């Protein structure tokens, strides 16, 4: 039996995009296998032809992984969207196909990774892996002890409270913060909730890799020790989230307690109204096993009537 590979992993292994982006391409019906559109979760066998928007995808068996540290300037978007001429790929103009690991706001600058290794992207991006990202932030007014306390303790953002984090004041209007989660525009939203406006935001570290003296707009390859440490930090990270079945199974282990079946007693649980409806019409009467009250005709009309009325009122 031939060994098959998941389609999203096959695409990410080629360096075309990350596994997460590959899933989006599949959902958008832009991926074909042997000329046929496929569904999410599809697998690829050796010899299959995979195409994205008609472009053949080939996995190079001995392709050397590329890991880049880039000091993104303000104004550059961390996307691979070809329609966005300010995107990070155009800016770097690397000869090999690479893609960013996560995102950094267009209005922010600092460290961001780019790679052609789809597996490490998914491991780093999982918030549950608790990988640290460090930022230096300047705001529009004085940073106070109360501000530091509230920021570090947790702030309402996008319907949830942010995780406790390290925050340290480093100037009258500047502070350092270390996050282990990546909510959309998290730091800006946290500051806004407390009445502050972010003036500048620079990411200075991702896990073991520091921005250091790398100039704005410049990039470098990660060193071998950095790559080894990076892989060590994500070695125990799950590549993907647990699926619905797995999550359901975990909940079942904790929450499910079988209920003792109640012995059936004829007529029990049937109201007086149901007894009147079911009696005298040749139907099973209350108290008989399997007795069921017939449904009364709705006075609100049918679904078809509702649609026709709605159509008339909209004209």
* 41, 47, 53, 55 alpha-carbon torsion, rounded to 10°: 150
Give one word for 53, left, alpha or beta, with left for phi > 0 and alpha for psi -120 to 50. left
Task: Round to whole Å and give the CA distance between 85 and 308.
Answer: 48
Q: What is the DSSP letter of 173?
A: T
Write down the catalytic residue from 23, 105, 109, 117: 105
Which stretches within 43-183 are classed as H helix? 88-92, 118-125, 145-153
User: CB within 8 A of 64, min separation 6: which ones?
Assistant: none
Residue 167's nearest CA partner among 157, 156, 154 is 154
Residue 138's nearest CA partner among 201, 72, 193, 192 is 201
Residue 77's nearest CA partner among 43, 103, 55 is 103
User: Crossing angle for the helix pair 19-27 and 118-125, nearest 10 degrees?
Assistant: 100
User: CB within 8 A of 206, min separation 6: which ones?
Assistant: 111, 112, 113, 124, 131, 132, 133, 134
Task: Round to whole Å and give the CA distance between 277 and 70.
Answer: 76
105 is catalytic: yes
Q: What is the DSSP letter of 262?
A: P
Task: Round to whole Å and give the CA distance between 9 and 48.
Answer: 14
3-state secondary structure (DSSP) of residue 310: helix
* Positions marked catalytic: 105
């Amino acid at each position: 039996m031939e060994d098959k590979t998941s389609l999203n992993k096959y695409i990410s292994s080629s360096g075309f995009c990350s596994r997460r982006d590959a899933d989006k391409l599949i959902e958008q019906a832009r991926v074909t296998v042997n000329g046929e559109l496929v569904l999410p979760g599809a697998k690829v066998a050796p010899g299959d032809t995979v195409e994205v928007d008609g472009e053949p995808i080939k996995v190079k068996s001995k392709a050397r992984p590329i890991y880049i540290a880039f000091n993104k300037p303000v104004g550059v978007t961390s996307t691979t969207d070809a329609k966005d001429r300010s995107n990070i790929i155009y800016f770097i103009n690397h000869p090999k196909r690479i893609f960013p690991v996560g995102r950094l706001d267009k209005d922010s600058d600092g460290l961001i990774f780019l790679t052609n290794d789809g597996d490490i992207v998914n491991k780093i991006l999982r918030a549950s892996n608790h990988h640290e990202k460090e930022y230096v932030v300047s705001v529009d007014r004085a940073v106070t002890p109360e501000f530091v306390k509230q920021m570090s303790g947790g702030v309402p953002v996008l319907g949830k409270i942010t995780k406790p984090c390290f925050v340290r004041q480093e100037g009258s209007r500047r502070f350092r913060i270390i996050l282990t989660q990546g909510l959309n525009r998290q730091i800006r939203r946290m500051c806004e909730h407390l009445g502050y406006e972010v003036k500048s935001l620079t990411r200075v570290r991702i896990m073991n890799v520091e921005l250091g003296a790398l100039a704005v707009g410049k990039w470098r390859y990660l060193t071998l020790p950095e790559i080894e440490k990076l892989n060590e930090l994500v070695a125990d990270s799950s590549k993907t989230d647990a699926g619905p079945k797995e999550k359901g199974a975990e909940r079942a282990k904790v929450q499910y307690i079988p209920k003792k079946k109640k012995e059936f007693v004829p007529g029990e649980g049937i109201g007086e109204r149901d007894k009147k409806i079911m009696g005298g019409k040749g139907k099973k009467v209350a108290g008989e096993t399997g007795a069921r009250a017939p449904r009364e005709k709705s006075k609100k009309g049918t679904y078809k009537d509702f649609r026709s009325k709605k159509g008339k009122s909209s004209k």
